[in-house]
Amino acid sequence: MNKILQEAKLIQDEIVNNRRYLHQNAEIGQNLPITTKYIIEKLTEMGYDPKVITDSAIVALARGKKEGKTFLLRADIDALPIVEENDLEYKSTTKNMHACGHDTHAAMLLGAAKLLKQHEDEIEGTVKLMFQPAEEQLSGAKSMIEAGVLENPKVDAAAMIHIFSGMPVPAGTLLMPEGGYVSASGDMFHIEVQGKGGHGAMPQDSVDPLNVISHIHLALQEIISREIPPSNAAVITVGQMHGGNAANILPDTAFMEGTIRAFDKDDRALMKKRVVEISEGIATTFRAKATVDYRMECPSVYNDPALYEQVLKINKDLLGEENIKGFDVVYPGGKMTGSEDFGYVSEKVPGLMMVLSGGSPEEGFPYPQHHPKVNFCEDVFYIGSAVYANTAIEWLKNNK
C-alpha cells in the first residue's frame, strides 16, 4: 500500500470525528461561524496559519522547502436547508443538513492537510487549501476568486473531490471524469410580469399576469425542442410560479423562477438570450410587461485534458487500476446535468473534478444527494484525504 494511503488510514478516526462535528453543526450560505471556527482551530493545531479571506472562506498554505508551482485543493463546507431524517448519534442539531456531503469534503481536506504537514519537506512548491462556503448557492467560489484565492501565490492547477451516495459502484471507488465538460452550467432566472389587477368578473378591464406567465412557461420549453440541437443536452426548469391571493381577483403582478442547464457555452448563451426575448415578447402580446433578472450564473466544470491524464496515472499508482472507474458508470456520456461552482475555478486555471463513491444501495446507502436520509460510508473517508494530498504532491513533483 502507498505510504500516504497507509498514513491516511491511521488518521481515519480523526477524519470521521471531524466530519461528525461538522455534520451536527450544519450551516448554510456564506456565513458559517461554527464551521469556520472549527476548521481554523484544526488547521492551527496542525501548524498552519489559516486566513479568512471573505465571509467564512478559509485559505491555508502548505509550503515545501523547494521552489515550485502552486496546486490548489478545494473542499466546499456549506449545508442545505433540509431537516435531517436519519436516526444517527451525530444527527444535525440545526434545521440544516449536510445532505450533499460537504461535511465529508471538509473533513477529507482536513485529513489531507495533516498528511501534507507530515510530508511538507517533500512538497516541491506550494499546496493551497481552499475551504469554500456557499457552493449550494453557486456563489462561494466566485466570491473567493474575487477575494484573490487564485493569487499570492498564483495557482497553476486545481482539483476537487465530491462524494456521492447511492452509486452503482462499491464505496471507495474513485471516479475520474475524462477531459472536457463534466457538469452543466447553472443560470437561475427570475421573471417578473407586470399586469393590471382587477375584478375576476371583468377581465376585459384588467391585464392578467397569470395568463402571461402561463404562456411564458409553455413557450420556454420550445427553446429545448426547437432551438437546441438534438445531439446537445440542455434543460430549462421552472421551479416556482406565484401570483394572486384570491379566486375572484386578478392580481397586478406575478413572477416565476427557474434554471437553465447546458454544457455547450453557445447553447447556454442562446438560452439566456431567448428566455429574455420570449418573456418580453409574450408579455407585450398580452399588453403586459416582463422583466428578466439572472440572479445566479455559474459556468460548467471543465476537466483539463492534460491534468486529467496526469492525475489519472497518479491515482492508479495510489489506489490500483481496479479502484478507478470512468464517470460514465454513473452518468451516460460522462457528464452530469447538475451544476458545481468549481466551474468558476476551472474557467480560470486548469482544473479537475473527481468523485468518490460513498456507498451503493447494495451496501446500505440507497439515498442520493439532497435527500433528507442520505448518508455516506465513513470507512472510505481516508481514501479521499490520501487522494487529495497525494495528487498535489505528485503533480508538483512532475511539473517543476
What domains appear along the chain, each with residue ranges and CATH number? 3-182+300-398 (3.40.630.10), 185-297 (3.30.70.360)
pLDDT value of residue 333: 86
**Per residue in 151-167, is it b (16+ CB within 10 Å) or e — as a string?**
eeeebbbbbbbbbbbbb
Distances (CA, A) of 380 to 152, 172, 309, 321, 358: 33, 5, 24, 17, 7
d(CA 72, CA 149): 9
Spatial contact of 11 and 5, defined as CB atoms under 8 Å apart: no
Alpha helices in 230-304 (DSSP H): 265-285
Please give the average per-residue pLDDT across 232-239, as a whole number.
95
Give the confidence band of 354 by pLDDT, cuts at 50, 70, 90. very high
**Spatial separation of the C-alpha atoms in residues 79 and 370, rounded to whole Å:** 10
Measure the N-to-C terminal CA separation of the chain; round to a whole number of Å: 26
Mean pLDDT across 210-236:
96
For the chain, the farthest-separated pair of C-alpha atoms sits apart, in whole angstroms, at 80
pLDDT at 94 over 60: yes
User: Considering just the CA atoms, what is the radius of gyration of the chain in Å?
Assistant: 23
Task: Decide: 58 and 113 in contact? Cβ < 8 Å.
Answer: no
Residue 334 and residue 177 in contact, taking contact as beta carbons nearer than 8 Å? yes
pTM of the entire structure? 0.92
20 contacts 110 by C-beta, under 8 angstroms: no
Number of helices (H) and strands (E), helices first, in the chain? 10, 16
Summarize pLDDT for 20-51 with one digit per residue, the tens: 999 999 999 999 999 999 999 999 999 999 99
Residue 1 pLDDT more than 70?
A: no
User: What integer pLDDT is reported at residue 298 of this predicted model?
Assistant: 94
Q: How many CA atoms lie within 13 A of 364 on its CB side?
A: 3
pLDDT at 124: 97
Phi and psi at 255, nearest 5°, equal: -145, 160
> Does position 293 have pLDDT exceeding 90, yes or no?
yes
- Average of per-residue pLDDT across 263-268: 92
In Å, what is the CA distance from 166 to each residue of 45, 136, 169, 357, 363? 35, 20, 9, 8, 9
Residues 265, 331: Cα–Cα separation, whole Å? 20
The three-class DSSP label of residue 349 is: coil
Give strand pairing partners of 76. Answer: 132
Per-residue pLDDT band for 8 (boundaries 50, 70, 90) equals very high
Closest CA relative to residue 70, chosen from 354, 384, 381, 345: 345
Cis status, amide bond into 350, omega within 30 of 0: no
Q: Is it the case that residue 332 has pLDDT exceeding 90?
A: no
pLDDT grade for 296, boundaries at 50, 70 and 90: confident
Alpha helices in 25-83 (DSSP H): 33-46
DSSP 304: -
Give the tens place of pLDDT for each residue, 55-87.
999 999 999 888 999 999 999 999 999 999 999
Q: In the numeric block, which cell numbers belong to residue 81? A: 436547508
Chain mean pLDDT for the chain: 97
| 189-193, 236-240, 264-268, 385-389: least confident range | 264-268
Cβ(70)–Cβ(141) below 8 Å: no
Q: Average pLDDT in the 91-114 region? A: 98
pLDDT of residue 179: 96
| Side chain identity, residue 294 | Y
The helix-helix angle for 102-118 and 3-10 (nearest 10°) equals 120
